[in-house]
Amino acid sequence: MKSFRFNSLADVKAFRISPDSSNYFAILFDKPLDGIENIFVVEIFNVGGATPPNEHATAHEFFYVLHGEGVARCNDEELVIKKGDSLLLHPGNDHAIRNTGRCKLYTLTVMTPNEGFSELIRSGDPVTLDEEDLRILTGA
């Protein structure tokens, strides 16, 4: 039985789903690493970046804003989000997040169950976290 797994930012792998994506994901915990049925990532949105509109059949998606500001859209409602805010999206709702700030937007994003999200992320292109990412994520 596993008791816990520790993650150092130096060990985290990051991916961009497609070459034209304006956001990327640093995977913290997921099924390939941990045998769990959900995924925990830091989602990083470039200035002006956004997720494509999407919805999940069975998964809840949670966002906690670590740094920056943006707008969350769920169906026809929009909501301004900023550092310290949290948002839970229920299955079956069309949604998107976009960065409206002057710097990158960072969210802790959790999807449960995974619903293929980990596999989608890992099928993308590996990226390296830059100095800004490391500074924000370590609080330096």
pLDDT tens-digit map of 81-138: 999 999 999 999 999 999 999 999 999 999 999 999 999 999 999 999 999 999 999 9
Number of domains into which the chain is organized: 1
pLDDT tens-digit map of 49-90: 999 999 999 999 999 999 999 999 999 999 999 999 999 999
Asked if residue 10 belongs to a domain, the reply is no
CATH number, domain with residue 58: 2.60.120.10
Residue with tokens 């990532």: 41
Asked if residue 74 belongs to a domain, the reply is yes
Spatial separation of the C-alpha atoms in residues 76 and 102, rounded to whole Å: 25
The boundaries of the domain holding residue 99 are 21-112
Asked if residue 107 belongs to a domain, the reply is yes
Write the CB contacts of 71 (distance below 8 Å, at least 6 apart in sequence).
Answer: 78, 79, 80, 81, 97, 98, 100
Asked if residue 4 belongs to a domain, the reply is no
Asked if residue 99 belongs to a domain, the reply is yes
pLDDT tens-digit map of 12-57: 999 999 999 999 999 999 999 999 999 999 999 999 999 999 999 9
Asked if residue 78 belongs to a domain, the reply is yes
Please choose, from the candidates 115, 123, 128, 118, the residue with its C-alpha nearest in 3D space to the C-alpha of residue 44: 128
